[in-house]
A and B are shown apart, each in its own frame.
Chain A
Amino acid sequence: MNKGRFFIFILLMTTVLLATATLGLIVGQYPIQVEDLASVWSTQNSTAKLVILELRLPRIICAIFIGALLAVTGSCMQGIFRNPLVEPSFIGISAGAASAVVLFLVVLKPILIQYIPLNEFVIPCVAFVGSVVTVKIVINLASIQGRISIGALLLSGIAVNAFCGALMGICIYFADDAQLRSITFWNLGSLASISWREVYILTPIFIGGLLYLFLLRFKLDIASLGEDQAISLGVDMQSLTRRVVYSTCLIVGATVAFAGIIGFVGLLVPHITRFLVGANYKFLLIGSALIGSIVLLSSDIAARSFLDGAELPLGAITALLGAPFFIYQISKMRKEII
Chain B
Amino acid sequence: MKLILFIFLAVQINTANIVTIGSCITQIVCELGRCNQIVATDKQSQSELEQPVTNIGYWRSINVETILQSDPTLILASESAGPPRSIQVFQSTSNPIVLIKKTENWDDLMSNISLIASKLNNSSRGNHLIETLSERLSKLNYKKYQDLRVLGVYSPMGQRIFANSKSSAASFVIEYIGATNLSEFNSPKIISKEIALELNPDALLMTERTAKWLENNKFESINLLLKKPNFRKIKVSDNALSEICIKTIDSLENLNYE
Per-residue 0/1 for A300-312: is the Cβ within 8 Å of any B Cβ (1 yes, 0 no)?
0000100011110
Question: Which range holds the interface residue count of chain B?
Answer: 20 to 34
Residues 160-198 (chain A) with a chain B CB within 8 angstroms: 173-179, 181, 185, 192-195
Q: Is A146 an interface residue (CB 8 A)?
A: no
B187 touches A176 (CB 8 A): yes
Q: Is A231 an interface residue (CB 8 A)?
A: no
Per-residue 0/1 for A304-335: is the Cβ within 8 Å of any B Cβ (1 yes, 0 no)?
10001111000000000000000000000000
Residues 1-48 (chain A) with a chain B CB within 8 angstroms: 28-31, 46-47
Binds A, one of B53-61, B173-181, B196-204: B53-61
Binds A, one of B28-36, B76-84, B138-146, B210-218: B76-84
A193 touches B84 (CB 8 A): yes
Bound complex: CA of A55 vs CA of B43, how far in Å? 22
Q: Is A54 an interface residue (CB 8 A)?
A: yes
Q: Is B85 an interface residue (CB 8 A)?
A: yes
Bound complex: CA of A194 vs CA of B86, how far in Å? 10
Q: Is A51 an interface residue (CB 8 A)?
A: yes
Within the complex, the shortest CB–CB distance from B231 to chain A, in Å, comes to 27
Chain A residue nearest to B61 (CB atoms) is: A181
Kindly name the residue among A30, A179, A309, A311 whose own CB sees the greatest number of chain B CB atoms within 10 A: A309
B65 touches A178 (CB 8 A): no
Q: Is B188 an interface residue (CB 8 A)?
A: yes
Bound complex: CA of A175 vs CA of B65, how far in Å? 29
A29 touches B94 (CB 8 A): no
B68 touches A311 (CB 8 A): no
Q: Is A201 an interface residue (CB 8 A)?
A: no
B58 touches A310 (CB 8 A): yes
Chain B residue nearest to A174 (CB atoms) is: B187
Q: Is B93 an interface residue (CB 8 A)?
A: yes
Within the complex, the shortest CB–CB distance from A194 to chain B, in Å, comes to 8
Instruction: Point out the residues of chain B lying under 8 angstroms from A51, CB to CB.
Output: 65, 68
Q: Is A225 an interface residue (CB 8 A)?
A: no
Per-residue 0/1 for B101-130: is the Cβ within 8 Å of any A Cβ (1 yes, 0 no)?
000000000000000000000000000000
A192 touches B187 (CB 8 A): no
Bound complex: CA of A176 vs CA of B188, how far in Å? 7
Q: Is B66 an interface residue (CB 8 A)?
A: yes
Q: Is A122 an interface residue (CB 8 A)?
A: no
Chain A residue nearest to B165 (CB atoms) is: A176
Instruction: Point out the residues of chain A lying under 8 angstroms from B188, CB to CB.
Output: 176-177
A47 touches B57 (CB 8 A): no
Per-residue 0/1 for A47-67: is the Cβ within 8 Å of any B Cβ (1 yes, 0 no)?
100110011000000000000
Instruction: Point out the residues of chain B lying under 8 angstroms from A185, CB to CB.
Output: 83
Kindly name the residue among B60, B63, B188 whose own CB sees the greatest number of chain A CB atoms within 10 A: B63
B82 touches A30 (CB 8 A): no
B61 touches A311 (CB 8 A): yes
Bound complex: CA of A192 vs CA of B82, how far in Å? 11
Chain A residue nearest to B189 (CB atoms) is: A173
The answer to whether A192 and B61 touch (CB under 8 A), given A30-B66, A50-B68, A178-B82, is yes
Residues 48-101 (chain A) with a chain B CB within 8 angstroms: 50-51, 54-55
Bound complex: CA of A213 vs CA of B243, how far in Å? 52
A309 touches B66 (CB 8 A): yes
Chain A residue nearest to B188 (CB atoms) is: A176
Kindly name the residue among B54, B64, B80 whose own CB sees the greatest number of chain A CB atoms within 10 A: B64
Q: Is B89 an interface residue (CB 8 A)?
A: yes
Q: Is B98 an interface residue (CB 8 A)?
A: no
Within the complex, the shortest CB–CB distance from A36 to chain B, in Å, comes to 13
B68 touches A310 (CB 8 A): no
Chain A residue nearest to B56 (CB atoms) is: A309
Per-residue 0/1 for B154-180: is the Cβ within 8 Å of any A Cβ (1 yes, 0 no)?
000000000001000000000000000
Q: Is B51 an interface residue (CB 8 A)?
A: no
B94 touches A310 (CB 8 A): no
B57 touches A309 (CB 8 A): yes
Instruction: Point out the residues of chain A lying under 8 angstroms from B80, CB to CB.
Output: 178
A46 touches B83 (CB 8 A): no
B68 touches A308 (CB 8 A): no
The answer to whether A192 and B85 touch (CB under 8 A), given A30-B65, A310-B57, is yes
Bound complex: CA of A50 vs CA of B71, how far in Å? 13
Chain B residue nearest to A184 (CB atoms) is: B61
Within the complex, the shortest CB–CB distance from B239 to chain A, in Å, comes to 15
Instruction: Point out the residues of chain A lying under 8 angstroms from B61, CB to CB.
Output: 181, 192, 310-311
A29 touches B63 (CB 8 A): yes
Q: Top 4 closest A-B pairs, CB basis?
A: A310-B57, A29-B65, A30-B65, A193-B85
4 additional A-B pairs beyond A29-B69, A176-B188, A192-B61, beta carbons within 8 Å, are A30-B66, A51-B65, A176-B165, A177-B188
14 A-B pairs with C-beta separation under 8 A: A30-B65, A47-B71, A51-B65, A55-B65, A55-B89, A174-B187, A176-B187, A181-B83, A192-B61, A192-B83, A304-B65, A310-B63, A310-B66, A311-B63
